[in-house]
Structure formats: C-alpha cells, structure tokens
C-alpha cells in the first residue's frame, strides 16, 4: 500500500537500512547473539523501559537465569527479586510463566515462527515478530509504540486509536519490509524511534527522512504552556510500617505480599498505611512496641503518579504469630527479605539497614 502523503514507501527501507548501518546502535548486549532466550528477555525488559535502564538489569538477570530451563525452575519470588526496580512487574510474572510453557510444551526450544511465539504468555504480535526476525530470519513486521510513532509521522497517518486504524498501520508496516537487510531494517526502526523520533522534542535534523517527513516539514507552532492545575501529577502518601523485632539470631522485618492488582502487584513490601495511627495500630498487633522513629521520606515516581513514602521504624517485642497467608504477612531476616521480590525503594531501605 502507499500513503497519500509522506515518504515514498519504496525508498523507506533502503534509507533506513543505510542510516542504521552507519548511525544505529550496534553494541547492545542482546545484539551479540541470535539465541531466542537472550533476545526474548531483552524484548520483554525493553517494553515501556528505556535502554539505559535495561542495561543495568540485563546481564545480572542472565547470570542468575542463564537459560530458559533455569528460569522455569526458579521460584517466582526469585524472578521478582531480580526484576526489582524495573517496574511493570506483570512482565516478570509473564516471563516466568512463558519459560514454563517453553519447557513444558516445546521441550525448552522456542517456536521458530511468529504464530508459535505469539501463543506464549506475555508475547504480543510485535514482540513475537522481533524474535522471529532477529533469531530465525523470518520476514515479519514489528509495530510497537515507537514504530507506530515513526510510521505515523513519516507517512502522515493518524496514530492507531481503534482496531481499524491499527490494522491499516499493520498493513503499511508489512508492505515496507525489505527483501534483504531485515536485521538492520528492524533494528533501524527501533533505533530511530528510541533515539531521534522521540515523542517530544524529536531530533529531526539528524533523521534520515528529514527532507520529506511531513511531521518535520509541517511541524505546528509550539503549543501553549499547559494549565498547571490540569497537568499536576497526583501524589499518593503512604506511611510504611517498618516493624523490627530483634531475635537472638538477628533482626527480623515484617513484610506482606501485595495484591496481584494495583501498585507493585505480587511483591513483598513493608505494610503501607494511610496515616501514622493506622501503622502504629498494626504494629501493636505484631508485638509490644518498644521504640519508634521517623525515617526520611522517599519519593518514588510511577507512570501516572508519585508515591511519597514515610517510613515509620518501630522496634517491638514480637508476639508469636502464625499468619494464614502471605498477604497477612510474615517475619523475615534481612537476608531472607533481600532475596525476595521487593519494590525498589523498600529494597534500598532494607539494604542500607543491612549495610549499617
């Protein structure tokens, strides 16, 4: 298909491939292998996460889980612990579930086509296409959010808002696929969307399509400054109950597993309360309060809001408690706690305490 306005579709792939080979990214660790396990892990980590952040987690994750069998055999808490700080924790649970499916259904071998990959947990069409293209040389189109933005700008198309417009863009993406140089073309789409064709402040002057990109040529004047009252982010305040019990063999900390929905789904966490009185009441249910002190508040940025965390450290003489569920809570040594899947700010608190 062709677009009414924009770049000549016949020129799009050759120009992108030439740009990627000269200016694209070539030293990312997952580019050094066609192993579908390594590529799959990188693709899942990169969903809604910047490359510089993923680079801090990718190699440590692979050292802990070097292959799909190791990942499938691990406990979910081990996986969440390695994922702690990457956010969007549903990805980690899907990663674990997918590893089990690969081992149980496919003998530890990833399917070699998009359709088979797409049937696995947490792998959508675009991710499946990327794995199939990079690892098995399949001629498949990708269309993640970055690629949608690139194509919408380059061909003067609306961003997909419904099934019909998304289908139109998929048809365009498939029609643009080159007969050769598929690796460089697919990587080029990723590189262009991530480094130049950004959602805001795109670097059009360095783009290989600047001369005829409608988005660049018809760029509207700067939008007026938004109303601060409308653009202000919501801030949610939590008092974190940091209950500590000193035992003969070391300190214990009380953690609860959070619900599968909401903020930090499925992670172990210091109990969060709306106010200090609720936190103190909870602490008294755990033991005799001996001492309490406020720790410095922490701000944690989420996608749509900020969390302002107020740790309340309470030392107590613990009652003998047998919790009937993980959501009710359990005592852990600091070493045990740090081996669990914890939210990043809670992990920093406990790690600093262990180091001190």
Instruction: Specify whether 43 is catalytic.
Output: yes
What's the rounded Cα separation, in Å, for the pair 287 and 315?
9
Q: Reduced to 3 DSSP states, what percent helix, strand and coil does the chain have, rounded to the nearest 5?
A: 45, 15, 35
Exposure string (b/e) for 82-108, b if CB count within 10 Å is 16 or more? bbbebbebebbbbbbebbbbbbeeeee
Query: Which of 316, 255, 318, 319 lies closest to 291 in space, CA to CA?
Result: 316
Report whether 337 contacts 268 (CB < 8 A): yes
What's the rounded Cα separation, in Å, for the pair 272 and 103?
38
In this structure, are strands 234-247 and 305-318 parallel, antiparallel, or unpaired?
parallel
Q: What are the structure tokens assigned to 181, written together?
A: 């140089």
Residue 130: C-alpha distances to residues 2, 36, 153, 186, 265 (Å)? 23, 10, 22, 8, 28
Known catalytic residues are: 43
């Amino acid at each position: 298909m062709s677009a009414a306005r924009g770049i000549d579709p016949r020129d799009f792939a050759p120009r992108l491939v030439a740009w990627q080979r000269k200016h694209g990214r070539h030293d990312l660790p997952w580019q050094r292998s066609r192993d579908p396990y390594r590529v799959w892990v990188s693709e899942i980590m990169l969903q809604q996460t910047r490359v510089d952040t993923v680079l801090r987690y990718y190699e440590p994750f692979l050292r802990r889980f070097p292959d799909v069998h190791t990942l499938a055999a691990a406990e979910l808490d081990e996986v969440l612990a390695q994922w702690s700080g990457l956010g969007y924790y549903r990805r980690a649970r899907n990663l674990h579930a997918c590893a089990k499916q690969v081992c149980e259904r496919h003998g530890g071998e990833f399917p070699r086509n998009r359709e088979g990959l797409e049937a696995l947990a947490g792998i959508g069409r675009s991710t499946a296409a990327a794995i199939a293209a990079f690892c098995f040389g399949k001629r498949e189109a990708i269309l993640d959010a970055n690629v949608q933005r690139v194509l919408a700008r380059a061909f003067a198309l609306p961003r997909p808002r419904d099934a019909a417009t998304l289908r139109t863009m998929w048809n365009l993406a498939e029609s643009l696929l080159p007969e050769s140089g598929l690796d460089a073309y697919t990587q080029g789409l990723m590189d262009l969307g991530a480094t130049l064709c950004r959602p805001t402040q795109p670097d059009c002057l360095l783009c290989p399509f600047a001369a005829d990109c409608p988005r660049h040529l018809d760029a509207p004047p700067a939008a007026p400054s938004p109303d601060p009252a409308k653009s202000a982010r919501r801030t949610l305040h939590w008092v974190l109950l940091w209950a500590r019990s000193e035992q003969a063999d070391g300190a214990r900390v009380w953690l609860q597993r959070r619900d599968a929905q909401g903020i930090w789904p499925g992670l172990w966490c210091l109990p969060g309360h709306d106010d200090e009185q609720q936190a103190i009441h909870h602490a008294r249910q755990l033991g005799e309060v001996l001492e309490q002190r406020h720790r410095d508040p922490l701000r944690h940025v989420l996608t749509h809001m900020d969390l302002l965390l107020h740790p309340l450290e309470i030392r107590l003489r613990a009652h003998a408690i047998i919790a009937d569920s993980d959501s009710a809570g359990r005592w852990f040594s600091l070493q045990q706690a740090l081996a669990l899947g914890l939210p990043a700010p809670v992990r920093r608190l406990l790690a600093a305490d262990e180091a001190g």
